[in-house]
Structures are given as C-alpha cells and as structure tokens.
Structure 1
Amino acid sequence: MDTSIVLFTRDLRVRDNPALAEACRAGRVVPLFVLDDAILGRPAAPNRVRFLLEALACLRGSLRELGGDLVVRRGDPAAHVARLAERTGARAVAVADDRSAFAMRRLAALRELGPAVSVHPGVTVVPPGELTPASGDHYRVFTPYSRAWERAPRRPVAAVPEAIRLPPGVDPGPLPPLADLTGGPTSPDLPEGGERAGRRRMAAWLRRDAAVYDDVRDDLAADRTSRLSPYLRFGCVSPLELANATGEGFRRQLAWRDFHHQVAAAFPGLPRRDYRPRGRRWNRDRDALDAWRAGTTGVPIVDAGMRQLRREGFMHNRARMITASFLTRNLWIDWREGLAHFDAWLLDGDVADDAGNWQWVAGTGNDTRPNRTLSPLRQASRFDPAGEYVRAYVPELASVEGRAVHRPWRLPEERRRSLDYPPPIIDLD
C-alpha cells in the first residue's frame, strides 16, 4: 500500500483540505506538522504561537477521530520529512500551495529529497499564480484583478476523508507548551484557536451578520465583522467555503487577500521594500513611534485601535486603516515600523496581506491614489459617531459624553486635567 506524507503548514483543518483528501484516497498517510526553528528562532509573536498550538491540538483531535494522528516535530521541515519518508517508505509528499518567500524555499528543499512533491490549493480561494493579465506576470491593480477573480472557476470543496490510515510504528510526539516556544506576553482577550472554534464562529456570523455585512462592516462600535481572519490565516476555516457562502461585499475582502498573495508571490520583497518607490522621506521620531505603539498619542480614535490590538490581538479593519494612515501620513514614520508592530501582536498576522495593506496606506504599494490621507477626526466622526468604540478601549475617556470624546483637548481645562489623558502629539485642528 502506498504511503504519503501530508505536510500541514497553513491548512490546519480536515474539512476542505485538498492535500489531505487526495493523499487519503491514495493509501496510508502520515499527517505532519513541523515547528520550524527558522520561524521560531526569530522573536515569535506570542499571540500567534498560542493560537497555533490550540489549532494543532484541535487538528490532532480531528485526525484521531478519523483513525489517524498528527505527527509533531520541531526543526527543519525537509529534514523531518526525509526521516519519516525513510522510516515509513513514503514515496509522496503533499503540501498546500503557499507562495511566500519562506514557503517557496521550503518547497524547493522538499523537492530535493526524492519523494514526489504535489502542491494543492487551499490557502487562498484562487491560487496565487492562476490569474495573470495579458501584460505581465501578476495584477498590479486590484479592480481588474477582482473582476478576473469573480469570473474564475472554483474547484469543488474537498470532502472530509472517511478514514486515515497511519503507518505502524510512527511516534506522534507531544505538543510543546507555550513557554517552550515563546517567552513574551499574550493579549488577555484572545479567541480560541482551531478548526472547531473557527467553524462555530463562521456559522454564527453567517447566521446573524453576513447578510448585513455591507451595512455594518465599517461601524467600529457595532463590532459585527466576521472576526474570521485568524482562522483564515492558519487555515482553520476554508476561504473557498466562505467565498461560496457569502455575498459580494465579503467576497471582495477575500479577493483583496488573494490579490496581496499574488503580489507577494511576484514581489517577494513586499515586507521589506517599497513596491512602488516614491522617494518618501520618513521621520525617525522614536517618541512619536512609542506613543503610537502604546496608544498614547492623544488622538482617541488612534489610541483606541492600538489598545484594541494589545488587548485582543485583533483590530477592526477600519481602525487598522486609521492607525496606519496616522503613522505614515500624519507622523511620516516608515510603514515598516508599523508593519513590525502589527506583526508582533496580530493573531491574523500574514506577510502578504499585512505588507500589502501597509504599503497601500503608505502610498508605496498598489493604491492608484498614492497621496490618499485619512483624517483621523473625520474618520472618527463618520465611523464612531457616538464615541462608543473609543470609550470601550480608552477608559480614561469613558466619562466623556457624545462626540466630545474625539476632541478631548477642546474640553475646559479643569475637565481635561481630570481625565489623565495626554494632549495630542500633533495639532489636528
């Protein structure tokens, strides 16, 4: 009987997992996840490491219910695949299609081992290299890409395997404790990781809020966005299933995600270099950068977003745009500084999507209007008109009523002093 190794990466689910489904049809399967020291050797984002461990525990439980198990190793993925192939006689390796620079190096190392390597869809709705314009290797502007994306045929959703047959004598290995992988603090209000938690959230959102997504997605206080981004980032839910179940507005967000993945595939330097250099001269104001990171800029809508990030490992998408614009357009601080801070805290931190969005806001990426600036005060007035979002995350301002919460510097001096909230670090009036 043929044996295959399924190397899980960013597809930590058993539902709609084409790599797993195909391997199970062919024979015995060794499901493998490798905690890669090339990633963990960097300062690992504690929020994502915790979420990852919960997702792996959930995946292991699902695989055991199907008769298999999850083999967990730590070190170099290619080296562990080679050892398992020799031990089990595996002649094939299946892996999800991921086009980050790191993933491409991993794939190249796997292809040097000997077993046949097959690459399967599942990380995105449309694989990164599947759509190309007539004039180049990738789409540089979102609108024509989104049109092609909507027209693209979609693969069928892969069924859950009926059973998983694990070769005898394979030691699954333990899941390490969080403290062995990272020593940093985690946010206090993190959601549970894993496929089961992701599918519960997906079902609840589809039932309650998906139909009104276009009306409420920018309402900061309503908090009725899907909050599925961490589950998409780790592949705990299928982006294809979501695309099939949602309307045009939410599909557009999935198309943006795919768009950034195909940009990053063609331009691997996206997290480090300007996609479209525009001669920006960035400030090196450490005090302003520290205030932005800590949510103490004195601009309530900005501080609320930054504090939500620290508390939840998440930030509302509208707040992400506001805080990023404030850093790069008001403070003129390099977008890479913002990307690094987001990467340290976001559960859904994703190289392609985060770098693409930061460059879009900074005017160095795929925005066709590179001088676009978002006024934090106008954004606050429009998307948090009653100030409820600010009061939820900036407790110093909880007693300030109505729209005055967005401009506390205009309050009478005695009232301002009683708030224990800093004045704005720049003059917005």
Structure 2
Amino acid sequence: MNNAHAKVDHLRGGHTLLVDERGDGQELLIAGTIRAQIAAGGAVVIVGPSINDALLEAMIESSQLVGRGSDIMVVNPAKPATSHTYNPVLHTAPAKVASHVLNFIADQEAEGIQNPLITGALLEAIVSSLQLLGVPYSFLDLGMFVMKPDAITALADHMTIEHPSSSELQALTQAIGAFHDTEGGLSSDLLKEQFSGLAGSMCMMGSGRAGEVFNSYKPDVVLHEALSAGKIIYLAIPYVGRGSAAANLRRIVISNLSEAMDRISALPCSIPALAVFTDAGGCNAPAIEQLLSAEKEPIMNVWVSAGSLDDLGRESLDLRETCISKARSIVFFKPASLKSVDLYLKFLPQEDANQEARDRLLVLSSSEFVAVSAGHPLHWGDARTAMTLSSVRGAPVILERPVRHYHAPLSGADKFTQTMPV
C-alpha cells in the first residue's frame, strides 16, 4: 500500500462527514477514496441528485484498470437509455414504503391527504400482501391500486384464497373497510379524495423516462444482492416534486440501503462497502441515522458531503446534529471566512485548538484538509495525494444500454392493476 492510499485509509475507519465550502477538495478526496476502494475490491454506492461526471469517470477508469469494469451499475433516470433498472419500493419494508410514499404529496396541509392514518394503513396493507404473495410491484402499481377499487378487491380475493388466515389479509380487510360506501362496496370517490395527489406522483414515477428505470419487476440493481457481490453503483436519484417532499425519493433509497445492510450483516465482510452521499439535502435525520449507526460500520462506511455546517442546519437542525454526532470523522476543507475558522476550531481536540491551528486553517489550499477522527490524532492532509492510482487515461468510455428484462404480461401486480412493467 502506498502512502497515498494510507492517507485515504486513515479516514475510512468509519462514517465520515465532509465539509467543503468551495467543493473542489471534497470532490478530489471522494474520487480518490472511491479509486482506493475499487482497487481493494470493495463495493461502492454513490447517491446524489444527478451524475457527477468526475466521480463517474473515477469509477469507470479505476474499475477498468483493475479488471472490474463489469461491476459498474449506473441508475440515471435522466438518461434511461444507458441506465440500469432499479425498483426501490420492491425490497423495502411495507411500513417504510407507506410512510415515504405518502410524503410524495407536496403541501399536504393545503392539498391531498385528509387522513394520513387510513391512507397509510391501506398502502402498508397492499404492500404487505404483495410481499407475502411474492408478487413483484412498482411505483406505477401502487399508484393504480389506490385509485382502482377493482384492483384492491382482486388483491383481497386472491389473498383470501392463498393466505386466508394471515395477519396481512386481516390488515388489508380492515384497511379497505375505511373506504366502503353506504352500500358496503369500495368507494372510488373516497379513494380519489384521499389518494389523487399520491396516485399522480406514483404514476409519474412509473411512466416516461423515470418509468424506464423504476417500473421493473426484475430490476438490474437489487441493493443487497449488488453490495454482497461487490458491485460499484451510482444512484442518480433526482428531486421529485417541491418543498419538503422533493427529496423523498432518496429517502426511500436510504431506507432500501439500510435494509440491504441488515440483509447482508450476517455475511463475512473483509472490506466494508463505501456509501457516499454527494448532497446532504437528500437526507433527512431519521433516514440517514439508520445508516450512520456504529453497528453498520463493519459492513459499510458512510460519507456525507456538505457545503457547510450552516447548509446542513438549513436542511434540518436534526440532520446536522445526526451527522455531527454519528460521524467518526469530520473533515474540514479550506474555510471561506473567519467565522468558519472559529467554528472549525471548536471541533478540534482542546489541546490542538490553538493559534497555530487557526493560522494553518487560514492558509489551507483548496485541496488541503484537517480531519478530526475518533481514536486518531488530528490529521492534516491533501486530497491530491489520493489521486495517484493511475496517471494513464484509457479510451473514452461509452455506457451502453443494459440488457432489459422484459416481463411476460400478468406476471406481477399488473394482473391486478393492468399496468405495463418494463
């Protein structure tokens, strides 16, 4: 192992928060760490609102250099022609699917959900039933179920035949009861009143360019399987909607990632996976806290990047507190103001927070940083030293369209909802 890799490994002993008001050094350090992780044979997952070309290039180049080019998987709804398919609701716990999906409705107080308890109960019961049946489903199916009484009735009838004594059927029957009309049948008006905004959001995720990626019953990327196999994954998950609901798709992804870690926790793991969130705005405190637990560090090291601690606080004070308290290492790059210098000094060990450290912070270059790590002495480094894995650039890489797994009609939830999975 050369010195450059040793410097990177010093920061990879656990979860890490990166703070860079300019962004250049942070990007270099992340790219260098990804290169080192790939060279060591470890799994990588990057989550951001869009593709960062420099990080994707680092993934591709370093993967090809060590013969791991076939491990790369890119999920990019903005360019479905070269994107792998990914269905984040297929392998996520029903309660979490219901909770996150409900939040797709923006400005809930002004429009949409009248009673989130009964809507959430129905969504959870539908997902629980489909998972018990082993029937694959997608965003589009969920949007159709909550607007089509016939689809819900058909699911309940099928559950009655296949699992007549199950708690899932009992929950589904109880949830359906809240939407009965005066004659005892399912009311399309009541469903529409509660779910119209949600159905629109789900159908948007299951159609058009997004649908080419998310509306799959046999997705290319199943996180627990991919990470167990050491895959190198870029999830470019966009903001959807507006306001507090806009980042909710990535919160589903975080829940999916957390459950993937739980699924593979019993497997031997010589190299923890590396998960990088390039934009903290896509994380909320409850979602990211699942990943930043100390118990998950032997399985996965999580890096969260932020422009500043103020940026984190503007997203959510709870998010900032979660990242600061749960991260084993905090990395500060060149401060943009004297105020930032004084703030960074507060995070340094008391014996190191002196005038010498203050002067050194003031003259950092854009690529230099100071890392405060639990159980380690204060570490001053330069992100450029992590970029020495290769100085040889190969031929330009063209991402080809992955082979699509087209589904036979009526092979999943479409037999209830009459959707068209990809």
The TM-score range, normalised by the shorter chain, is under 0.3
Higher relative contact order (CA 8 A, sep 6+): 2
Question: So what's the TM-score if we normalise by structure 2?
Answer: 0.27
Question: So what's the TM-score if we normalise by structure 1?
Answer: 0.26
